[in-house]
Amino acid sequence: MPIDEPVRKHTDELVLEVAAVPAQAAALRDVLAKWALDRGLPRELAEDLKLTAYEAMTNVVKHAYPDGTEGNVMTVTAAHDDGLLKISVADEGRWRDGRRPDGGRGLPIIRAFAPEASVTSTPTGTIVRLAWPCPAL
């Protein structure tokens, strides 16, 4: 490698943009769990990942978009990088503060089962980021 060429770290990444509907969230939770297991995440932590990612995706389906809006999407990204397995769930909807009669447990579950969890909300969407320690194979 020439000296002036930057050193690039290897990132193993999966990016999926899907309709924000319950069937997609259910299917993607299994895809993410298998992806994590294939990268060496212990089974117990893969189950935690599956639960928390599903909660984040369910929040998009239930809360991100006004009722009846067509074309709602969520982008789910999984990356294995620098000893961490990172999941993000993003939408282009609007964050709504306060409890709703049909919800209220998703974020506490996410924070209880993901070693690292954050929610970033802007006028153009929300991103939930999750991470688990996972050394490279």
**Domains: count for the chain:** 1
d(CA 44, CA 66) in angstroms, rounded, equals 35
**Residue 8 above 80 pLDDT?**
no
Between the CA of residue 99 and those of 60, 61, 107, 126, what are the distances in Å? 15, 16, 11, 17
Domain range enclosing 76 = 15-93+105-133
Structural domain contains residue 62: yes
pLDDT tens digits for 90-119?
999 876 655 555 557 888 999 999 999 999
Structural domain contains residue 87: yes
Structural domain contains residue 27: yes
Structural domain contains residue 19: yes
Structural domain contains residue 98: no
pLDDT band at residue 7, thresholds of 50, 70 and 90?
A: very low
